[in-house]
Structure 1
Amino acid sequence: MNPASIVISAIIGYLITYIVTKWIINISKAKGFVGKDINKLDKPEIPVLGGISIVAGFVSGSFAYLIFTDRSNASETIEKVIISVLLSSLLIGYLGILDDIFSLRQSIRAFLPVFASVPLILYSSGHSIISIPFFGEVDFGIFFYILILPAVLTITANAFNMLEGLNGLGAGMGLIMASALAYIGLRSDGPSFYAGILALILAFVLLAFLLFNKYPAKVFPGNIGTYFIGSVIGSIGIAGFMYTALFFLYIPYAIEFILKARTKFKGVSFGKVSPEGYLYWDEKPNSLTHIVMKMGKFKEYQVVAILWGIELIFAILAIIFQTITIRI
């Protein structure tokens, strides 16, 4: 293991994301790929294809690691982890860009991740055992490949897309989740270690993007961004066998799924804006964002900060319980 190659790869991912985001902001405005920021009183038009820079940064960082690292040891494991994560994530990123341009039906959005799970299924062949805290190891056999893996990737990709709509929310949540997976993976060995490297690269990529996406946002990730972030996090968790961590990291998204299901997935995460610039929601809540808005008078960035704090708590739990799982 060469620590320098890990650092260089993460920095390359950061720089590429930063550069491409600035380019995307200009080109999106010129081509008319903009959307209204409805959480602002003046409803400014913001570029919506920022997710392209997230894809570019993550792919660049991942390939940089393949170039700069010494693959004389564990070469097959390194390539399998990185290639399976990249292929699955890029397939779902493709779904996102199609959705941004053509506004795909919900059924298509929900079903495509099943096909995107194929690279991860091929990589995981022979690994159908999951360690469950307090229960030990459970071998799911063929059901691991035909049900569990496609379900995990479908849930992680689609769920991440549900809790979005406020400046910096998705990128910040993803940064916290990726950081937790990086901490877990880099303290492990085997596939988990290399998955941790990818998680670290993703964390640096999202940090660069957050510079432009934080309040007041200069760019939105779009569906390509939210689907891609969710799928990369899910793919890293699968490739690194960090299922317990994924469970805790996605608890807020499970709550969001329940809230959205009550509206037959027609609910939004946006708020209403008071003349003073506070976000509020005076109807039945159909998002975690609305629950926070009902807790008091908050500006948009304060709502986002509270949700980041909630995700941080679950990230800490993910680290604790994943560690327990490894020790069992």
Structure 2
Amino acid sequence: MKYILMLSIFIAFIIVYLLMPWFIRYFTRIGLVVKDQHKEKKPLIPLAGGIVVFMGIFFAVMFTIFVQTFYYNSTNYLIDLLAFITSLFAITFIGFIDDLLVRKDYEASIGLKQWQKPLLTVIAAIPLMVINAGMTIVVLPYFGAVNFGILYPLILIPIGVVGASNMVNLLEGFNGLGSGLALIYLSNLSVYAYVNGSEVAALIGAVSFAAVLAFWYFNFIPAKIFPGDSLTYLLGCVIVYLKNKVMGFGLMEKLNLFMVKFILFHIF
């Protein structure tokens, strides 16, 4: 698994690094751009960099599945990996739709309505709901440990995906800020997963880190491309998956309680 992990990291990084310049030119050519308010002349910068990051993660995960299945004749982690990549595709696609709507006069960011974002994002939670990712026992203040049973995958997992995907959006601001912060928490979660023997979580975290690192090279000041909602939603999905897999034991479930308030605030 160690060699697969190293090769997967390389694949994720090199795909994003090589494809990004072409996508920067392509997005600029088709007009998928917004004004960079943090530069003096406010140039038009392409967005939706999350599409390329998804490609890097996708091919890295597919490489892992291929080697595990046809070389090692093993189906370990297959369901988890397929569920993760399906969720990631769904939420990245939703974010990309939002990016396509963000242009108009190049000054204002219109995009999806606030109530539409969490509603559509729930779709991405379905694969994780099916595999029942995480733990059903939640530690609640004043109540102690509560076993939610079937309500956990049906309610708490969707709340986690919706809340985290939207909260990562708040980290975006200056050039390279959101992607730079992503490198910090992805590296920490990946190391934590590896040390604690969670191989699949370590793989997901590591390839996500590698893909974002390649993107950060183009997003750092002066940014040549913006992440867009396609990347912020993608990162939210990765966070939820990693925290459920590695740091379950009630941590993600406690965060879900905060996410409920966050979602309701944005809707109403």
Q: TM-score range by the shorter chain?
A: 0.7 to 0.9
Aligned equivalents of 1:101, 1:16: Cα separation in 2: 23
Partner residue, 2:105: none
Matching of residue 150 in structure 1 with residue 149 in structure 2: no
1:159-183 deviation per Cα after TM superposition (whole angstroms, max 9, x unaligned):
1112212111111111112112111
Residue in 2 that maps onto 1:37? 36
- Deviation digits for residues 172-201 of structure 1 (CA, Å, limit 9, x no counterpart): 111112112111211223xx3211211011
Q: Give 1:139 deviation, angstroms.
A: 2.3
Q: Partner of 1:53 in structure 2?
A: 52
- What is the TM-score when the length of structure 1 is the normalising length? 0.69
1:19, distance to aligned residue in structure 2 (A): 1.2
Letter in 2 for 1:55: F
Question: Where do residues 227-306 of structure 1 align in structure 2 (5 Å cutoff)?
Answer: 227-240=233-246, 242=248
Kindly indicate whether the alpha-carbon contact (under 8 Å) linking 2:13 and 2:213 is maintained by their aligned counterparts in 1.
yes
Residues 1:206 and 2:205 are matched in the alignment: no
The aligned counterpart of 1:170 is: 178
Describe the SS at the equivalent of 1:35. strand
* Percent identity of paired positions between Structure 1 and Structure 2: 30
1:203-256 CA distance string (max 9 Å, x none) = 111111100001111110111111111112212323445366658999xx98xx
**CA distance, structure 1, for counterparts of residue 179 and residue 254 of structure 2:** 18
Instruction: Return the alpha-carbon distance in structure 1 between the equivalents of residues 207 and 47 of structure 2.
Output: 23
Runs (5+) with no aligned partner, structure 1: 266-328
In structure 2, how many angstroms separate the alpha carbons of the residues matched to 1:67 and 1:131? 39
In the alignment, the residues of structure 2 paired with residue 81 and residue 126 of structure 1 have an alpha-carbon distance, to the nearest angstrom, of: 11
Aligned to 1:84: 83
Q: How does 1:5-44 map to 2 (within 5 A)?
A: 5-44=4-43
Contact map agreement 2:50 2:227 (CA 8 A) in 1: yes
Cα distance in 2 for residues equivalent to 1:53 and 1:249: 29
Distance 2:203 2:213 in 1: 15
The DSSP-based 3-state class of the residue aligned with 2:34 is strand
1:181 corresponds to 2:165: no
Gaps of 5+ in 2: 102-110
Contact 1:194/1:240, CA 8 A, preserved across alignment: no
Moved more, 159-168 or 197-206: 159-168
Higher-RCO chain (CA-CA 8 Å, sequence separation at least 6): 2
Which whole-Å CA distance do the structure 1 matches of 2:133 and 2:210 have between them?
30
Residue 137 of structure 1 and its aligned partner are, at CA, apart by: 6.0
Counterpart CA distance in 1 for 2:222 and 2:91 is 28
Q: Distance in 2 between matches of 1:55 and 1:33?
A: 18
